[in-house]
Structure 1
């Protein structure tokens, strides 16, 4: 999510005024990059968690019972 760090009027959102501290929608990544470069936004990069395989103990079946 991108945070507004300087008040500006967004020409692509019907001239909506974004005030400091508001969230800016990240629908258009190129627009967000431009506004960050111009000093209007501070983009917070959200990293997706990596999918790790679940580890299983040796000789344990799916219900966790080792007495199978």
Structure 2
């Protein structure tokens, strides 16, 4: 559907950090915004497409 604009290492970091933020937000019960940001970060890592990167014009070079 969308072209991937996030590298494999960045995807892994997004999933790990996003999952951690989401878990922290849910456990603390005060930080629903932190949980939402973490969930969005993890989702962009799972999909491999970042809308903010696309708006900035970031494109990955195709593999030769």
- Shared fold per TM-score greater than 0.5: no
Q: Which has the higher strand share?
A: 1
Q: Which has the higher helix share?
A: 2
Smaller-chain TM-score bracket: under 0.3
TM-score normalized by structure 2?
0.23
